[in-house]
Amino acid sequence: MRVLKIGLRGDDVAQMQTALNNLGYNPGPIDGIFGPRTQQAVIRFQRDRGLTPDGIVGILTYGALGIDFTKTTAIVATNINYTYNVMEANIQELQRRYPFLEVGIAGQSILGRNLYYLKLGSGPNQVFYNASHHSLEWITTVLLMKFSENFLQAYVQNRSIRGYSIRKIWDMSSIYIMPMVNPDGIDLVLNGLQRNNPFYEQLILWNRGSTDFSKTWQANNRGVDLNHNYDASWQLSKQAELAYGISGPGPTRYSGPYPESEPESKAVADFTRAHDFQLILAYHSQGEVIYWDYQGLAGPQAQEIAKQFSNVSGYALDQTTGIASYAGYKDWFIQTYRRPGFTIEVGRGTNPLPISQFPKIYNDNEELLLLASVITT
């Protein structure tokens, strides 16, 4: 970790601000900017801990924060822009706190970022939850990461959540979670286009000449919409592109040159093929709606499960139409395995949803995530 001092910016500054805030030292806005208020919070923390109150976060201050952070605070921050680097650091911290947590890598993105998965539980009933196929929908990554942390904490404390015994779920099921399917796209949205990106010129062209990706970009780093890149009526998705004026790579809805052309979608499909998932959830935003069928293939069990999901979340049930009906991960799973698969659209508004919606999103979905882990047993 680098030494932090006034004037610096970055994810590590935001994490440090979060730690200070959680410990009762208000650093001002948690914005990743080391300004005067953050410096004063650091100085107060250092003085109270018997450290040199110089306002610089070096190894001793990191150590003091680390001790308190591990013992008294949450790991997953739910009030910051949740970048790939933040997620990766949080996964490492979860592993340190919960050494029994299984973490793996299902593949890599176009730019070589790891597609991490977490495994919660050791039971025979396998289920799979993924998030952030679309980069503007990064709030869904926070949802799955926070759920994982709360689940792990309840497991070691032998607690129930919403009446569900976490120890029983652990023994009954294995919950596989891939929290960030599209890390490159999220980096474009949250950190902007970097000059060293090997697709720099193409990305500007694909983004209609703009270097601002923060409000428009859903695709991966090659301009392919990952949730239109699966082999489920993929050819119909290609045909529908014309109606939407899509002729090649761009911010959204371009299905790619062929199914699973992208390393991210191929990694998700390969990961699915390598397991025996009885049910999958694909998290997106927005609309507070659950999509549960694909061309009438889902069957009565899936419809009944969807009704139960609707009851516990308050989300409406619906079926996709138009180009959204084709080539999605949930569609491919249902078509291939004839097992329950669901797209869950969280929150309401325009993507990217403000992080201020997170408490409601989490409250709406926590029981759904627990129920999904046992409903097929």
How high does pLDDT run on average in the chain? 94
In tens, the pLDDT along 95-135 reads 887 878 999 999 999 999 999 999 999 999 999 999 999 99
Task: Provide the CATH number for the domain formed by 84-184+262-372 in this structure.
Answer: 3.40.630.10
The pLDDT of residue 321? 67
Domain with CATH 3.40.630.10 in the chain: 84-184+262-372
Which residues contact residue 171 at a Cβ distance below 8 angstroms, ignoring those fewer than 6 apart? 121, 122, 123
Q: How far is CA 234 from CA 140, 228, 249, in A?
A: 25, 7, 16
Contact 83, 187 (CB under 8 A): yes
Q: Is 326 designated active site?
A: yes
Residue type for position 177: I
Q: Taking a C-beta distance cutoff of 8 angstroms, is the pair 285, 139 a contact?
A: yes
Q: Which of 149, 260, 262, 345 is catalytic?
A: 345
pLDDT at res. 64: 84
In order of 8, 132, 214, 224, 295, the CA distances from 185 in angstroms are 24, 9, 10, 10, 29
pLDDT tens, position by position, 191-233: 999 999 999 999 999 999 999 999 999 999 999 999 999 999 9
Return the CATH number of 11-72, one of 3.30.540.10, 1.10.101.10, 3.30.450.20, 1.10.260.40.
1.10.101.10
Tell me what pLDDT residue 12 has. 76
With bands split at pLDDT 50, 70 and 90, how would you rate the model's confidence at 67?
very low
280 bridge partner residues: 128, 341
**Backbone φ/ψ region at 253: left (φ over 0), alpha (ψ -120 to 50), beta:** left
Confidence (pLDDT) at 322: 64
- Structure confidence at residue 33 (pLDDT): 92
Q: Is 294 a catalytic residue?
A: no
Q: Is the pLDDT confidence value at 69 over 60?
A: no
Query: Residue 305, SS3?
Result: helix
In this prediction, residue 70 carries a pLDDT of 38
What is the spatial distance between Cα 124 and Cα 121, in angstroms, rounded to a whole number? 9
Report pLDDT digits (tens) over 152-197.
988 877 889 999 999 999 999 999 999 999 999 999 999 999 999 9
Say yes or no to pLDDT of 59 above 80.
Answer: no
- Residue in 141, 122, 144 with CA at minimum distance from that of residue 133: 141
Q: Give start-end residues of each CATH 1.10.101.10 domain in the chain.
A: 11-72
Q: What is the pLDDT of residues 315-363, one digit of tens each?
A: 999 987 666 678 999 999 999 999 999 999 999 999 999 999 999 999 9
129, 230, 294, 326: the active-site residue: 326
* pLDDT tier, 71 (very low <50, low <70, confident <90, very high otherwise): very low
Percent of the chain predicted with pLDDT > 90: 82
What lies within 8 Å, CB to CB, of 69 at 6+ separation is 19, 22, 23, 75
Query: Cβ neighbours of residue 42 under 8 Å, at least 6 residues apart?
Result: 16, 20, 25, 27, 55, 56, 57, 61
Whether the per-residue pLDDT at 142 is higher than 80: the answer is yes
